[in-house]
Structure formats: C-alpha cells, structure tokens
C-alpha cells in the first residue's frame, strides 16, 4: 500500500471464496512460501483473478 500515492488502509472482510483462491494460489507455488500476500480482483466475469503474488515483504528492501 503506497500512502505516497493516495493509498489507504480500510477494514475489509474477505469472502470464503477469496480465502480459498488465495490458499490455492499459494499451494501451487513450487516451493513453500514463508510469507505471501495475494492481491485479488474480480475479472469482467465476476470471478476471482490474481493481480499480484508477493513472496517477499517489500519493506525488507
């Protein structure tokens, strides 16, 4: 989240489908991830789609 560009943090309750999609995405990685952030959006058909899979915390850089 980039506050420098107008981003903000809001409370959001994930749906069961979103959690299952994220878990499925992580399980399909060739190696077990210690950390993961899965960014999801709804495509034009209303289905979950992967926007970004972050496997390294960018603040560590």
Encode pLDDT of 12-56 as tens digits.
899 999 999 999 999 999 998 889 999 999 999 999 999 999 998
CA–CA separation, 26 and 9 (whole Å)? 23
CA–CA separation, 59 and 43 (whole Å)? 29
pTM above 0.85, yes or no: no
Domain boundaries, the chain: 18-60
Q: Count of H helices and E strands in the chain?
A: 1, 2
Q: What is the greatest pairwise CA distance in the chain?
A: 36
pLDDT of 8 reads: 87
């Amino acid at each position: 989240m980039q506050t420098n560009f107008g981003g903000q943090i809001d409370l959001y309750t994930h749906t069961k489908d979103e959690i299952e999609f994220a878990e499925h995405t992580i399980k399909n990685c060739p190696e077990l991830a210690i950390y993961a952030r899965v960014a999801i959006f709804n495509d034009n058909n209303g289905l979950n789609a992967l926007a970004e899979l972050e496997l390294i915390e960018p603040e560590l850089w």
